[in-house]
Each structure stands twice: as C-alpha cells, then as structure tokens.
Amino acid sequence: MISYSTGNSLMQISVFGIGYVGAVSAACLANDGHNVIAVDPNPQKVEPLNAGISPIVEPGLEELIQGGIRSKRLKATNDVREAVQGSDLSFICVGTPSRTNGSLDTGYVTAAAEQIGAAIREKNSFHSIVMRSTILPGTMESVVLPTLERTSGRQAGVGFGIAYYPEFLRESTAIADYYDPGAIIFGKHDQATIDRLLDLHRIFKIEPKVVSIRTAEAVKYTNNAWHALKISFANEVGNICKAAGIDGHAVMDVLCSDTRLNISKAYLKPGFAFGGSCLPKDLRALRFAARKLEVPTPILDATMEANEEQLKRAYSMVAATGKRRIGLIGLSFKPETDDLRESPLVELAERLFGRGYDIRIYDPNIQVSKLTGANLHFVRSHLPHLTSLLTANIDEVIEHAEVFVLGNRAESQRLMRHVDDGRPLIDLVRIDQTRCSGDFYQGICW
C-alpha cells in the first residue's frame, strides 16, 4: 500500500547530482527549512559538502551549505538507497553534456533514473521524481519514464510520480536567481507530484505555470536559444556601430528602454513571414551598409533567410493539399491596413499564381477602386494580374476554393463556419488559440 504525503510544507528531499545546479538547489532547499540529502557518486563532491565546503565556486553558496550542515538539514552521500528511503521527492540534477556530434548525452539521466527506480521498488510510500536536468522534448516520455517503470516494477502516476521542472539559474548569481526566479515552470504528469512542487514553491512571489511535460522541456531549450540569439544580436549591433563610429551600448540602452515594442511580447508569436514597407527594406539597407564597413552580419542575414523559409513553408503547405483552387483571405502585409508593399501574402499569391494555381483573394481593406498613392502605384506596377483575382465579396472566395489560406483575421469567423466542411484550411495567423494542426486544419507553425 503506497501512502502519500503532501500538504506538509517542510519536506524530505533528495537531490541527485552535486554540480552547479544540484549544489545550489540542495543548499537553498535546506535553507528553506527542508531536510535535504544530496547524492553524487563522486567522493570529491560528497566529502567537501559534508565538511561545509562548497564543491563549486558560487557567491554565497558556502555560507548556505555551512548553515545546512550546522542545522543538520543538509547532508551528502553516495548511497542512493538511503537517499530515496529518506525522502519523498528526488530532484535529478545530473549533467546532460553534448556528444562530439552535437547530440544530447542522456546517459547520466538514464543511470540516475535506473538507480532511483531500483530504490523505490523497496519503498512503501509514494515517491516523486522531478527532472531538473536539461533534456530535449520527449526525453521524459521516451527515456526517463520507461526506465523508472522498468527498474521500479511500478506504473508512473500510480506507483510513483514524475514531473519536469526546468532550471533557469545562472552561475555566479545562482542563489539570487533561486530566490527571485523570472519564471517557474512545472511539466505535469501526475497531480500528486505537482501538488508537492506547488507546496514547495509557496514561498516564491511568482505563480508557477503548470504545462505539459513536453512544453516544459521545449521551454528550456527555447529560453536558452533566445538568450544566445539576444547576445549575438547585441554583439552584431555593437560591431556595426563601432565600425560606424557609434557607441553600440548607447544604441542598445535606448532600444531596451522601449518595453512596448522592443523588450516585450511584441513580435514573439509564431506565425507567417514579416513584410511591409519598413522591415525588409531597412534590413537590406543595414546589411548593405555593414558590408561596406566590412562587418559580417550573420544574424541579420539569417533573419532574411528565415523569412524566406517561412514563405516557402506556406507555399509547400498549399502544394501538399494537392488542390488547385485556392481561396486567399488577406493580402496586405498585416490586418487593418491597405499597405501591400512587400506583403508576404502578395509574394505567396504571386508564387501560387506563377505556378498555375487558380486563386481568388479577399481582403476587406483592399478594394482596387479605392487605392491611392504609393499603394495604387505598387498595384499598377507590380500586381496588375493579382488585382483581377481580388474580389470584394468573401462568398465568392468561399464558393471558389478547394483550399483556404488565411492570412488575415478579418472575416475569420465567417470562414471558420466553412472549415468544418472538410476543405483544407491553412492558417497563417492563428485565428483560434485552442486549435492545433490536425485533419484539414493546418496552422503554419502550431
């Protein structure tokens, strides 16, 4: 009979791996009042910790370790059985290094799961295993869970619990990051383990976000990729600015002061390619200016390449339906404007038209008879053929199409009534936040 212990804010915890993540987690958890057993096969990690010496260089850590040893709330061992028997919850903080080919080595994670699984075979109480190591999406499901089930002889969710809880600490500010995290994410498998984690995190100011295990695994990689991209972007700006006799720090400081468009959620929703009268033109000019200054711009170059890939992706999705009669909703570069200059929807329509697709287009803001100025000039010089495909009535598009491409939220409600008739709908703007690709509905990147 397995007994559960939750609701008790002081817990018995084991931490597997006394490295940068494990040592900080163990010391902070002990500092929060929990009883913590840190486990590592390496005596050079176990012995110093038990002697009150930090096994890593990290500001403030040694004091926390010494406090934990003094209060007897922290100890280290290499005995897995003792650690699992003496705790309700195990955090796995072992390394997940790169192999020489770049793939992720999950050997330490698998070994830790095997050892914990074997130890919980002999336990009568419900044990939770919480992964903190960085692992690729799907690893919990395909590696950790089956390993634990095989070695424990129990079923996940019934005989033991699991969760994925990515770690975001930064070395050198790890303790401050622990006590003031930017986000706390729990990847959920069973509620009992999530309840224990929620209990443990009551002391923090921010509300943990509970998501699926795969989402939590993906968040960790997306975070790190985002941080790396930000650093390289700032460096590239600095390089161009330096060559032009401008202080790149002054430029980036001002950029970062705009929390509405720059340091914000703006432009961070997966979707279709960018376009319009500014972004492509200005990126081209900046890259050209940098070339003249002999400054390489790999990030800016890749941005243009990535945009082209998104266009190709939309085209391929249409081609994959095997249908020829296309209904395109939206043509301007974004909703609520009639600006067609460098609209990726125009580019998509032209590619489809050029390959013989039979298109009808509806955009509530584009009525050829009402266009003026730069737009009229653009249409006359670039799009004479496309204007003949534009209709002022969405019903004509609905009647004509074997497949819909939705590039503008306008009229999406009316269109959505028709998607359920089985005709493929390719959504470039995510009209419905709850819907992901399946059957005839295809989101471009969801």
Ligand X SMILES: NC(=O)c1ccc[n+]([C@@H]2O[C@H](COP(=O)([O-])OP(=O)(O)OC[C@H]3O[C@@H](n4cnc5c(N)ncnc54)[C@H](O)[C@@H]3O)[C@@H](O)[C@H]2O)c1
- Closer residue to ligand X in complex, CB, 133/332: 133
| CB 44 to ligand X: min, Å | 8
Catalytic entry in 28, 93, 241, 278: 278
One residue of 11, 17, 36, 129 binding ligand X per CB under 6 A: 17
One residue of 8, 9, 42, 232 binding ligand X per CB under 6 A: 42
One residue of 58, 88, 167, 339 binding ligand X per CB under 6 A: 167
- Closer residue to ligand X in complex, CB, 37/397: 37
One residue of 30, 74, 94, 426 binding ligand X per CB under 6 A: 94
Q: Does 61 bind ligand X (CB under 6 A)?
A: no
Q: Does 113 bind ligand X (CB under 6 A)?
A: no
Q: Does 161 bind ligand X (CB under 6 A)?
A: no
Q: Catalytic site residue 278? A: yes
For ligand X (CB under 6 A), the number of binding residues is 25
Q: Mark 358-397 with x for binding to ligand X (rule: CB under 6 A) and - for no binding.
A: ----------------------------------------
One residue of 26, 30, 46, 112 binding ligand X per CB under 6 A: 112
Which residue sits closest to ligand X, CB atoms considered?
19
One residue of 105, 171, 399, 439 binding ligand X per CB under 6 A: 171
Those residues with Cβ within 8 angstroms of residue 297's Cβ, 6 or more apart along the chain or in another chain: 236, 240, 286, 287, 290, 291
Q: Does 40 bind ligand X (CB under 6 A)?
A: yes
Q: Does 93 bind ligand X (CB under 6 A)?
A: yes
| CB 364 to ligand X: min, Å | 48
Active site residues: 278
What is the contact surface with ligand X in residues (CB under 6 A)? 16-22, 39-42, 45, 93-96, 108, 111-112, 115, 133-134, 167, 169, 171
